[in-house]
Chain A
Amino acid sequence: MLENIKNHRGLWVVAGLALLLAFWPSLVPRFYVYLVSLMLVTGLLATSLNLVLGFGGLYQFHHAVFYGVGAYGAALMIKWSGLSPWWGLLVGPLAAALLSLVIGIICVRLSQLYYGMLQISLGSLVWAIVFRWYSFTGGDDGIHGIAVPGAIASVSGAYWFTLAVTAACLLVMYLVINSPFGRVLMATRDNSERAEMIGVHLIGHQLIALVIAGFFGGVAGVLFVVVEGSVFPDMMFWTLSLEILVMCLLGGWFTFMGPMLGAAMMVGLRTVVGIYTEYWTLVLGVILMLLIFFLPQGVLGFIGAKRTPAMAHSRRED
């Protein structure tokens, strides 16, 4: 890691940002603490999607379903089980990972658009069940006033928890992407047929990636419960899935931090635009069009292309 920081100016930026984030609640009013919490949660969600989208090349059109299942898993566990709420926070991501495995097994043999469409239909099925099962999930009202553990219930408590968990998750995902597993995942993205020919079990490899992505999507969902104290079915509606796709595109989906940046920009922009007009989606639509036409590599991809990164591989024994 130390060597990394020396080589990459980007990591200096991250370090400075980390310092700022560490003192954030003592610097700004509560609303901005809440806003940054939301950015972190959304950023974690987008990063988990990008693991399979940008690095795995899988058209995961409905990733929000794992966000929703993570959140509902935690909320329902807290509401119905009577156990310590911490258990709920653990169950959420596990439920999401399990669902990701099930949906993955059904979809993964398909390619590209077919994969995406089957995935979106299975996700919509989950949404439909949650949306209708009033007695258990609260239906379209959702569940409000969820009793999260007292230690992290306050705005700043939730912020600290979110920051710590998000940072840990990002670190793990960073390691995964730069591991042999990640390299091979990128190889399957670039050329799945060839990857099989060099001895990669394609479907197995993609499934593992999907489960990891689903798990971290679920973690994001749990963090949302901690920050908001409520869940609602819109969290797993397909339009949100496409919005996080846009975040990945905005930040740059062949970069690791791109989705986080994209999510922060989108959440921030929505708040700012929301002050002036109720037509946020119109603004978002126009931004998206401009992106597609003029910046298809995303912000970080654009910056990266400007200064070609040195990918030094020193000759050293492994």
Chain B
Amino acid sequence: MDATSHITLASLAQQVLVGLSRTTILFIVSSGLSLILGVLRIPNLSHGSLYMIGAFVTYSAAVFIGGSTGFWLALIIAPAVVALLSLAVERGLLRFLYDREHLMLLLFTFALTLVFGDLVKLIWGSDYRSLTAPPLLQGSFDLAGLPFPRYNLFLLLLGPLVALGLWLLTNKTKIGKLAKAAAVDREMVAAMGINVSWVFAAVFCIGCFLAGLGGALVAPTQNITQGMDHTIIMEAFLIVIIGGLGNMWGALLGALIFGLTDAIGILVWPQFAIVFPYVAVVVVLVFRPKGLLQSTW
């Protein structure tokens, strides 16, 4: 635990900011997962695969188009591709299973995970890819004597925007209100003459769009590899659970807890940094087994 003595206020602040920008990505991914859990009651394990596909598509689109424009366009193209893919899966397969028990739905999305994982291997091969951010977001600026990456600042600014967008979507649009009503009582919404099936399709699509967006945003910050789906999905699930199933603000809170404990863990005890967020999750769940905020279940 030698490292502890080297912690300064500046390095702590820097690490917290890095943690916060990672929180943004975790929030975007897990809010999508939470939305699907809350409305459709599906524990979607393939969410992580869609995130991975988002990252790979971002890479390919950015490289194909080229330049700064390539990156910015890829940020839109990748989530859209993921959303279309999810729509096809939902309409083609998933919607026939809505009356099954949770365990079957979970296993079905696990099957999707297996298929998507190998499809990525089939299309992009087993090598990892890396993508550089456009010049505007490259490099870092000075933060009390320590460098802070510009891309992280970009993520920090984007997080609240996505949260606001999601809030507007769920509270101010017709589809959002319908989804909320359907989450509470499917029969009632159906009785109002509304096609619940399509509400579900739309919600599933939006949730997966967020997974794709998360993947697109993470692409320049790390190697894009096979297996990134397994890590993110477990993290996203834990975030959703500690926040409260189906609660968007819960996803934000959970992502903050997860991102910050991870960042502080890296600073305090790098070897076991991975353990910190898990411990935080266990502590939260032991005291509040149903999550911190009100679940929509």
Contact = CB atoms under 8 A, between A and B. Distances in A.
User: Touch between A and B in complex, CB under 8 Å?
Assistant: yes
Interface in B100-118: 100, 102-104, 106-108, 110-115, 117-118
A125 B279 contact: yes
A128 to B, nearest CB: 5
B96 A113 contact: no
A242 B110 contact: yes
Contacts of B282: 106, 121-122, 125
A112 B271 CA distance: 34
A205 B267 CA distance: 43
B176 to A, nearest CB: 24
Interface stretch (A26-34, A216-224, A285-293): A285-293
Given A106-B286, A285-B113, A128 B118 contact: no
Contacts of B275: 125, 128-129, 132
A110 B289 contact: yes
Contacts of B118: 279, 281-282, 285
B156 to A, nearest CB: 27
Contacts of A279: 118, 121-122
Scoring B93, B97, B104, B114 by chain A CB atoms within 10 A of each residue's CB, the highest score goes to B114
A47 to B, nearest CB: 18
Nearest to A113: B102
A34 B237 CA distance: 37
Interface string A217-239: 00000000000000000000111
A108 to B, nearest CB: 11
Contact of B107 (A120, A121, A125, A292): A292
B102 A112 contact: yes
Contacts of B230: 237-239
Contacts of A116: 106
A120 to B, nearest CB: 7
A121 B278 contact: yes
B82 interface: no
A98 B93 CA distance: 41
Interface residues of B, number: 41
A254 to B, nearest CB: 13
Contacts, number: 110
Interface in A236-290: 237-239, 242, 245-246, 249, 278-279, 281-282, 284-286, 288-289
Scoring B97, B121, B272, B275 by chain A CB atoms within 10 A of each residue's CB, the highest score goes to B275
Contacts of A110: 289
Contact of A114 (B111, B238, B271, B290): B290
B158 interface: no
A201 interface: no
A59 to B, nearest CB: 7
Contacts of A59: 102-103
B110 A124 contact: no
A109 B110 contact: no
Contacts of A133: 272
Contact of B278 (A125, A284, A285, A289): A125
Nearest to A286: B115
Contact of B114 (A121, A132, A288): A288
Interface in B20-61: 43, 45
A288 B117 CA distance: 14
B289 to A, nearest CB: 5
Nearest to B121: A279
Given A118-B289, A128-B275, A292-B107, A238 B115 contact: no
Contacts of A293: 96-97
Contacts of A117: 43, 237-238, 241
Contact of A292 (B43, B97, B113, B119): B97
A53 to B, nearest CB: 8
Interface in B75-100: 93, 96-97, 100
Contacts of B108: 288-289, 292
A131 interface: yes
Interface in B253-297: 271-272, 274-275, 278-279, 281-282, 285-286, 289-290
B110 A132 contact: no
5 contacts: A117-B237, A118-B289, A129-B272, A285-B115, A288-B110
Given A109-B289, A245-B103, 7 more contacts: A106-B285, A121-B281, A132-B271, A132-B272, A238-B230, A279-B121, A296-B104
